[in-house]
Amino acid sequence: MTQPASTGAQTGINREDELIFVATSDAAGITRGRAMRSADFSDRTSLGWVPADLGIGPLGHIVDDIPYGSSGDLRLRPDLDSRTRIPAVGERPSFELVFADLVETDGSDWESCSRLWLKRAVEELREDFGLVCTAAFEHEFVEKTATVHPHPFSLREFRAAEPIGSEVMRVLSEAGCEPENWLPEYAEHQFEVTNRPADPLAAADRAILVRDLVADVYAAHQREVTFSPVPVAGAGGSGVHVHYGLYGTDGSNVSFDAARPGRVSEMAARFNAGIVKYGPEMTALFAPLTISYQRLAPHNWSTARAFCGVRNREALVRVPPTNELDGRDPAPQLHFEFRGSDIGANPWLLMGLLLKAGMQGLKENLPPVDVVEGELELEGVHADLASLPSSLEEALEALSNGSVVRSWLASNWVEVFLQLKREEIRQLSHRSAEEQCEVYARAY
């Protein structure tokens, strides 16, 4: 990540007194960590952490009966390549942030560190299959404090958000996130921000930053946003879409084949077949909130079926269009979009799941995934497409009873996640759909 040159002096904070936040992200997708003076930070710095912190849910407490209890200690070991500087916003001073890997006190990998798990998946993709991946996350969110009449995709909505939109793009750029687009979206007071592609680890790191920095900029202006998948019951939903491309180690795009359905190569179709096959088993991990399933519904520009579709926004894996204006070559552009996930998913985990599921498709030599063109015919030719779970309870059952997806993850991590989500369901079971949406709108 880049380190911008701004000083933060406008807030009265000297550079030597700035703080650096050493960050991790937990099973609930919340950024946590510890801060210290930047002047005291070195390339040998690590900070203490507690294994049980993995069990903090979105409702804010550590759940009971998980494998990690009151004993045990870890270290937050900063990954210096991720170090970046966040500019001042309003009265909030500039600071530095560095993402950390969770390690044992002797420096060995901790079994349940999602960031290290993603690193290993990236290495496996290269070493075992000769492939590299680029990725970019798209985040949708809603401004809760907006008062103007909403106009989807409109200039009016865009201008109503100013100067926040310009400031969001500036802050993300200075933080090294390489923002690409900022736009008003379809739902009421909904916006979307996208980033340029990067390697999977950097893309997931950026996704974490986007969530927190967008909220920070709005808060500095006394305005509030939520990334919740369903901010208001019955209203439009917000997703986290992951675009990913597959390349050879020489940089060549290995996904394009003009002679095949959707112009998707046989290798890429087998990779995507793994994501489609294991989509139902993974659903609790990429859509992990009780209200996630209000968004994962038919005719909702989301996905309720596990299939690959060309330009179809209800596909779990979508083949986006290529830009062929002025004779541009489509081959280097062909990539894929995973559309099932939302803000409750840890970005490191989400990115690793896509890689592991894709590699599983290659390991099993699955038949190339069918590429659906046009709308689904659920009463006809597409009637047999697998459905995603329709509730978090069903999704947890699919994860718990499945063996393949669980085999990719540390067993203790899975047990923490299952207990965390079961407790979440228990606490929210007496609340109406509207009340559950309110709870998550505050949490995310």
The secondary structure of residue 341, as a DSSP letter, is: -
For residue 4, pLDDT over 90 is answered with: no
The pLDDT of residue 14: 66
Is the Cα torsion angle 114, 115, 117, 118 positive or negative in sign?
Answer: positive
For residue 13, pLDDT over 70 is answered with: no
Residue listed under structure tokens 């937050």: 76
Alpha-carbon distance of 294 to 391, in angstroms, equals 8
Q: How confident is the model at residue 312 (pLDDT cuts 50, 70, 90)?
A: confident
- Percent with pLDDT over 70 in the chain: 95
Burial 91-112 (b: 16+ CB within 10 A, else e): ebbbbbbbbbbbbbeeeeebbb
Q: How far is CA 103 from CA 49, 83, 96, in A?
A: 9, 18, 21
Identify whether the C-beta of residue 176 lies closer than 8 Å to the C-beta of residue 83. Answer: no
The pLDDT of residue 297: 79
Identify whether the C-beta of residue 36 lies closer than 8 Å to the C-beta of residue 19. Answer: yes
Q: Which residue has the higher pLDDT, 74 or 302?
A: 74
State pTM to two decimals. Answer: 0.94
Mean pLDDT value across residues 70-91: 95
List Cβ neighbours of 65 (8 Å cut-off, separation of 6 or more).
419
Alpha-carbon distance of 160 to 164, in angstroms, equals 9
The pLDDT of residue 3: 44
Q: How confident is the model at residue 428 (pLDDT cuts 50, 70, 90)?
A: very high
Q: How far is CA 306 from CA 18, 81, 199, 263, 318, in A?
A: 47, 36, 26, 20, 11
The pLDDT of residue 313: 84
pLDDT mean across residues, the chain: 93
- Is it true that the peptide bond before 4 is cis, omega within 30 degrees of 0? no
The pLDDT of residue 376: 76
The pLDDT of residue 29: 95
Q: How confident is the model at residue 6 (pLDDT cuts 50, 70, 90)?
A: very low
Q: How confident is the model at residue 127 (pLDDT cuts 50, 70, 90)?
A: very high
